[in-house]
Chain A
């Protein structure tokens, strides 16, 4: 393309050119360019970690992009490194997140006016009456059939979403709303209300509004969007009309067909004995899950964020007490809802959110490494010399780069922290190891080392349940893959049946089948 997108006529609500974003150790967005037309229902698609959220955060001014490139909205061009929330508002971009940010205990009218100055009476009190009237006008303008005096919490989810949207669209000042960004607006809706919301959105678009619609639900996208943009691994895959696209084609675009990482590791002989058995588990969003892990086997658990995958793993580990069903390790049922029982029996868990759930940032590396097996050093009292010696040994064995064995954990890089968290469990030679996004936010080098550690443990007989959004990682490590969607295991495959297409189609198709 010789002609720059910037020279295009101003019928575009937003133009992105060469937008990149680099985090320490990873490139979340790589040279992304596309445009959103005025009055378009534009879907933004991509798997977890594709860069969608990063892009949206740059548009919101929460993140700043790398220098270079351009973002243009309403005739004003900015460098992506200079986006701010104030710029975003000035550019007429508004956001409705999955978490609507509404106030359940307040009335619809108060919710509409949250973020706007309340009308005042002459003596300075809140002008409740003019507020009700104005709220009623706003609701009528957007075809929302709701009494402004009702409490927000009493509204159906679709109505709440529409009120949240109307609140954004009230900004007639500063030149009105140019682009409305909706992040998974149907994810929390019951199936019966999805169409209601989408029909309303169609009406708004027909009225001239531009919508950037982020969703995993391909059927909604195929039926309602006029344009789609697909991101994968931070790169722009395509921007094209949605006409004529099938769900299967979309799924392939999202997961890609190339296999970038080195071929799957050699197939191993897997023990025949079941070490972890999950039977009829029901807990939170998880329904009727049966799952088995054999000694020396890696089972990948594929599923979208929100599919219940993390909840399933947490329930197995005893974080939640299941409503029904049971978990047994080596044939012995685990006491439900007890992490201590699970760890004592030889279960290990590396959670997804390291900062919140596994790192003792103010304690030393040595104490982080020994946190899961303190009793090993208790002979009357805690024996520091063997504890420190073991920490030294782990630092060497797991190639943890640290200023010192007692260095505060916060001083280690993310990748080294993650290696240490893994080492914390592997030093116990767990019977089964549950991994939730074990390499998220970890650089390539540390990632390879983490893979090597996992495989070494597996060779010694540990069974692994691996939750990951990274398809390459899933395909690379898994001997068997189970796909979870809406809290149920919907399919399982081994060997050559595990392909990107299969995982992608099962993950996404299953997702919409029930919607």
Chain B
């Protein structure tokens, strides 16, 4: 059959794209709203379910538990924000988790060895993250390399570097000020939660209200068209990876603050849940787009579900199964939604 397929015949008239089947009527609008807020509704339903389930009703709805969940997830939220920025421009950053680990180890080493004051050590961790992003960005943006493969390679490389720096030891003995930040509250809300809310607002602002953010959206939508309106595609992509790396660095500091230590391999487990949350989030609020709000819903949908199940007595296997399943389902759902919305050709 190789010869009967139509090759690219240059002068074929172009059919206009099929008129969009915009769902009309009350039922259609309801369906639209359901699509937009489906995951939000589901999140609330799950929360209500565990609130009233006899096995969990004693613990789940308490403010202590919810604070704990929010504080625990603060690391994942920041990692997800890190992965989100390049993903808006259709570039994967699978090295975010490993960058978290390296930043935690670098800062941890500086702090435990007393080589630098707390603030300088923190800054160094964030800078290491940004530097990793810069390398990713240069290779991916300027040589147009596959972000998937480059950042996967980078992730492995960084884990090796982390192992080298820590040996077999766990870095312990972080300064009290850092541990306080990780575990105390301001106005009844865990301090890490304040941080992630602040960062989420900042990233939402950058994506929605700056030229840089708009360029990321445009590149994600149609890279060739972005080039042809004169947008600096390479520079924008590079910057996206630097931002991603720096955010992963911040998440690394949060790991130290929350857990009080760092060892080789720390952070690696965050990459997949972060990507899962982003894709889950892309099915909601503004379906088809990677957004900050969607990502937050994604993170907490998984977190609340796993928390509830764990309280109900589920075993350790629930967490990876839930996260892995979420990625597969969310990516499939996002692809189906995008196809329905935009037609087959993007």
| Contact assessment for B11 and A359 in the assembled complex, using a CB-CB cutoff below 8 Å | no
B229/A381 in contact, CB under 8 A:
no
Distance A287 CA – B4 CA, assembled complex (angstroms): 35
Confirm or deny: B13 has a beta carbon within 8 angstroms of a beta carbon on chain A: yes
A60 on interface, CB distance cutoff 8 Å: yes
Q: Which of A66-74, A406-414, A457-465 participates in binding chain B?
A: A406-414
Q: Does A88 contact B (CB under 8 A)?
A: yes
Q: Are A97 and B9 in contact (CB under 8 A)?
A: yes
Question: Distance (Å) between the CB of A36 and the closest chain B CB?
Answer: 18
Since A378-B211, A413-B16, A414-B14 are in contact, a sample of 11 more A-B pairs with Cβ atoms closer than 8 Å, ordered by chain A residue number, is: A24-B15, A54-B13, A183-B9, A340-B232, A360-B221, A362-B338, A371-B218, A381-B209, A382-B211, A410-B343, A441-B14
Tell me whether B26 is interfacial, beta carbon within 8 Å: no
Whether B109 sits at the interface, judged by CB under 8 Å, is: no
- Of the residues A47, A57, A358, contact of B12 by C-beta under 8 Å: A57
A122 to B41, CA, bound (A): 62
Contact between B20 and A167, CB atoms less than 8 A apart:
no
Contact across chains for A411 and B345 when beta carbons are under 8 A apart: no
What chain A residues lie within 8 Å of B11 (beta carbons)?
Answer: 47-50, 52-53, 305, 469
What does the 1/0 interface line of B225-236 toward A look like (CB < 8 Å)? 111111110000
Q: B218 near A363 (CB under 8 angstroms)?
A: yes
Which residues of B from 301 to 346 have beta carbons under 8 Å from A? 338, 341-343, 345-346
Question: Is A5 in contact with chain B by the CB < 8 A criterion?
Answer: no
- What's the dominant secondary structure at chain A's contact region? mixed
Binary A-proximity of B1-25 (CB < 8 A = 1, otherwise 0): 1111111111111111111101000
> A441 near B5 (CB under 8 angstroms)?
no
Among residues of B, the one whose C-beta sits closest to the C-beta of A61 is: B4
- A216: shortest Cβ distance to chain B, in Å? 10
With both beta carbons as reference points, the residue of chain B lying nearest to A48 in the complex is identified as B11
Residue among B4, B7, B289, B342 facing the most chain A CB atoms (10 A cut-off): B4
Q: Are A410 and B341 in contact (CB under 8 A)?
A: yes
Instruction: Known A54-B12, A363-B221, A410-B342; judge A88-B4 contact (CB<8 A).
Output: yes
Interface string of B205-220 (1 = CB under 8 A from A): 1000111011101101
Whether A357 is near chain B, meaning CB under 8 Å from some CB there, is yes
Contact present for B1 and A441 (CB under 8 Å)? no
- Chain A residues near B14: list those with CB within 8 A: 23, 354, 414, 440-441
- In the docked arrangement, what's the CA distance between A451 and B345, Å? 28
The answer on a CB contact under 8 Å between A115 and B2 is yes
20 A-B pairs whose Cβ atoms sit less than 8 Å apart in the complex: A24-B19, A52-B11, A94-B3, A95-B4, A97-B3, A101-B2, A115-B3, A183-B9, A349-B228, A357-B222, A360-B221, A361-B342, A381-B209, A382-B213, A408-B341, A411-B22, A413-B16, A417-B17, A441-B13, A442-B16
For A342, the closest partner residue in chain B by CB is: B230
Q: Which 5 A-B pairs have the closest CB atoms?
A: A414-B16, A97-B7, A441-B14, A343-B230, A48-B11
Contact for A414 among B2, B5, B17, B213, CB less than 8 A:
B17
Interface size bracket, A side: 35 or more
The reply on A375 being an interface residue by CB < 8 A is yes
Are A371 and B7 also in contact (CB < 8 A) when A381-B210, A408-B341, A440-B14 are? no
Chain B, Cβ-Cβ closest to A52: B11
Question: Smallest distance from the beta carbon of A234 to chain B beta carbons, Å?
Answer: 8
By the criterion CB–CB under 8 Å, are A23 and B4 in contact?
A: no
Q: In the complex, what's the smallest C-beta–C-beta distance from B304 to chain A, in angstroms?
A: 29
Q: How far is the CA of A372 from the CA of B228 in the complex (A)?
A: 9
B9–A360 CB distance below 8 A: no
A99→B8 contact, CB < 8 A: yes
> A133 within 8 Å of B by Cβ?
no
Least CB distance from A86 to B in Å reads: 9
Instruction: Kindly state whether residue A28 has any CB partner on chain B within 8 Å.
Output: yes
**Interface: B224 (CB within 8 A):** yes
* A56 interfacial by beta-carbon distance below 8 Å: yes
Residues from chain B with a CB closer than 8 A to the CB of A414 are 14, 16-17
Is A356 an interface position by the 8 A CB rule?
Answer: yes
Is A319's CB under 8 angstroms from B343's CB? no
Q: Is A209 an interface residue (CB 8 A)?
A: no
Q: Mark A380-402, 1 if CB is under 8 A from B, else 0.
A: 01101000000000000000000
Residue B288 interfacial (CB < 8 Å)? yes
B8 touches A23 (CB 8 A): no
**Smallest Cβ-Cβ distance to B1: which chain A residue:** A115
Q: Does A76 contact B (CB under 8 A)?
A: no
Determine whether the beta carbon of B3 is less than 8 Å from that of A101: yes
| Interface residue A25 (Cβ < 8 Å from any Cβ of B) | yes
Partner of A98 from B7, B17, B226 at Cβ < 8 Å: B7
B228, A340: Cβ atoms under 8 Å?
Answer: no
Given the contacts A306-B10, A367-B214, A413-B16, A360 and B4 also touching, CB distance less than 8 Å: no
Q: Is the CB of A372 within 8 A of B229?
A: yes
Which residues from B are CB-within-8-Å of A372?
229-230
In the complex, whether A224 has a CB less than 8 A from a CB of chain B is no
Scan A144-171; emit 1 where CB is below 8 A from any B CB, else 0.
0000000000000000000010011000
Check B211 against A374 for contact (C-beta < 8 Å): yes
Which listed residue (B7, B205, B217, B232) contacts A381, Cβ 8 A? B205
Which residues of B lie under 8 Å from residue A382 when comparing CB positions?
209-211, 213-214
Contacts of B19 in A (CB 8 A): 24, 413
Within A27-56, which residues are at the interface with B (CB < 8 Å)? 28, 47-54, 56
Chain B residues whose C-beta falls within 8 Å of the C-beta of A89 in the assembled complex? 1, 4
Closest Cβ of chain B to A461, distance in Å, is: 21
- Are the C-beta atoms of A101 and B7 separated by less than 8 Å? yes
In the assembled complex, A126 has its CB within 8 A of some CB on chain B: no
From B12, which residue of chain A is reached at the shortest CB distance? Answer: A53
Of A62, A340, A381, A410, the contact of B6 (CB 8 Å cutoff)? A62
A489–B55 CA distance with the chains assembled, in angstroms = 82
Closest to A344 in B: B230
Which residues of chain B are near A78, meaning CB under 8 Å? none
